[in-house]
Chain A
């Protein structure tokens, strides 16, 4: 065989191999050690908001909403460590052994394994949601086993017999027992925006079987009984019993107490909640603006169901309202405990302005947390709370910016409110 023939045979062989390319070839197996590494990786700077949206990121092009983000992070870790990755086959399997996994050749038209990985993740994003994650690909864990890498998923009733489900990826546990989380949303996915990170998250929606704190199943444990999961990973359904026994508020207090390494004083709580209210109030500017941009792009057309769903904000507005109420409750606790003297006096002052309406306008509060809702117009938290509590804010994405933020002169849209 001359050189030309040999080269030709070599290229044919390469082509044949490439045409059956796995997403990546795994040569490791999941183990407790790899689970520890996964947990460390989730806490590391490698998991950041711009992981999928920064053109210089190796994973630029991954497009995720809430559950997809959990799948994506797990797949990326598996890819980087040559571990197997598999989820219960979204479209089913006649042989009963099917999964969507890294060994598949579905994406072998793409030249690099990184491109194939991104294509696989995006197909997962198209094919499944939070329900698959809860029902098939994860298992519930004991409270003491919650760690970075655990996901928290909830399902709550919404209006018109609909449900809202969401997935948070835990990236850290703070000493006082609050969570660092990273997640995405439908609107983020649509616009290719960065992931959302929160450093002091408290969950409010209690687990209801099978929703709650869960961890990924190893590929070989898909569809298997909980008793097959290594005990060290903490497979347990105790969270559901705890909710039944303690109620939602008691449950989350129990969780906080179990995972915290230090107690949170009321002044610390007040400071944390003020920061959280500020973060979410400012985040509302982004949510509303995403809708306004979309409105501009579509010549102010009335939004269809899907658009309405992505850009309306009733649930997020309710969450912000609940956060204000938590702040108010922490302020009342501080009053009741008589710890006002040991609390940051500025925070007490701010709380009095917000909840007791002691000052009409306060530049300190405004500079501590400006909500710049349109060019040249800002709200402080006291004004925002006032508008929110009297129902002036609009969650309808066809409303103009003034109506969304409850300006007195605003005119409301006549477009259909889908729910």
Chain B
């Protein structure tokens, strides 16, 4: 648990360090009282400051979490499991492009791991051909096995959404496409970041 918290704080400290090294004033992001927040929205100069700071915050977080494989390595070193919320793989097998989707479906009392297989009959037009919950369907298993045998050489696209623990109670949602960070959500769970921040990035 200490390691876990440590990793979270490493990210936070790095972020905080960069923030303060840049001599930005984060005070206006503080959440002292709700009415103040609403008032701040109407203030022109502060909203300009806010936009600038937001951009910097997102850029700095991007540096910390930019590549999925690096994050995975760091987590592995620390013995941490990634909490994968969904994953989409596009793979080409025998001239046909399949899409393997794994995600977690909601249920009344918990959650259900769900596995889907799509086939592209036309480029980028997927048709859902297999769905299974809790356990992988036959086709899903076969394709995954084939993919593994071919040592991932045929993966055309990989998209993944994970929850990354930042402290004991909170996680960030990180969205990657082809190893690149595309978005971060959950920033308000980090202390001192309190206004309209969602980070979206363009593919390089």
Contact count band on A: 35 or more
A129 with B198: CB separation less than 8 A: no
> How many A-B pairs fall under 8 Å by CB?
163
Q: Which B residues are in CB contact (< 8 Å) with A237?
A: 188, 194-198
**Known contacts A126-B128, A164-B111, A310-B107; A245 and B196 CB within 8 A of each other:** no
Residue in chain B with minimal CB distance to A306? B134
Interface size of B by CB at 8 A reads 56
A94 with B108: CB separation less than 8 A: no
B157 with A92: CB separation less than 8 A: yes
Tell which of A39-47, A312-320, A347-355, A356-364 binds the partner. Answer: A312-320
B34 with A313: CB separation less than 8 A: no
**Known contacts A126-B131, A186-B106, A210-B173; A244 and B101 CB within 8 A of each other:** no
CB A250 to nearest CB in B, in angstroms, measures 10
Q: Which A residues are in CB contact (< 8 Å) with B104?
A: 129, 131
**Known contacts A94-B156, A241-B34; A127 and B128 CB within 8 A of each other:** yes
B157 with A315: CB separation less than 8 A: no
1/0 per position for A147-184, CB-CB distance to B under 8 A? Answer: 00000000000101011111100000000000000000
Q: In the complex, A245→B194 CA distance in Å?
A: 11
1/0 per position for B49-64, CB-CB distance to A under 8 A? Answer: 0010000000000000
Residue in chain A with minimal CB distance to B158? A92
Chain B binding site: helix, strand, loop or mixed by DSSP?
strand
B11 CB-CB contact with A under 8 Å:
no
A164 with B188: CB separation less than 8 A: no
A98 with B116: CB separation less than 8 A: no
Q: Which A residues are in CB contact (< 8 Å) with B105?
A: 65, 129
A238 with B38: CB separation less than 8 A: yes
A240 CB-CB contact with B under 8 Å:
yes
B8 CB-CB contact with A under 8 Å:
no
Residue in chain B with minimal CB distance to A228? B200
Please tell me which one of the listed residues B38, B133, B198 contacts residue A225 in the complex, with CB atoms under 8 A apart. B198
Please tell me which one of the listed residues B86, B106, B183, B186 contacts residue A65 in the complex, with CB atoms under 8 A apart. B106
Q: Which B residues are in CB contact (< 8 Å) with A93?
A: 124
Q: Which B residues are in CB contact (< 8 Å) with A407?
A: none
Q: Which A residues are in CB contact (< 8 Å) with B175?
A: 135
A209 CB-CB contact with B under 8 Å:
yes
A187 CB-CB contact with B under 8 Å:
yes
Q: In the complex, A303→B8 CA distance in Å?
A: 39
CB A400 to nearest CB in B, in angstroms, measures 19
B74 CB-CB contact with A under 8 Å:
no
B residues near A, CB below 8 A? 31-34, 37-38, 41, 51, 85-86, 88, 90, 99, 101, 103-112, 114, 116, 118, 124-128, 131, 133-134, 156-157, 159, 161, 170, 173, 175, 177, 183, 185-189, 194-198, 200, 203
A residues near B, CB below 8 A? 65-67, 90-96, 98, 104-106, 123, 126-132, 135, 142, 158, 160, 162-167, 185-187, 208-210, 223-227, 235-238, 240-242, 244-246, 254, 304-306, 309-310, 312-316, 419
List the 4 closest pairs (A to B, CB-CB), nearest first. A240-B188, A92-B88, A209-B188, A241-B31
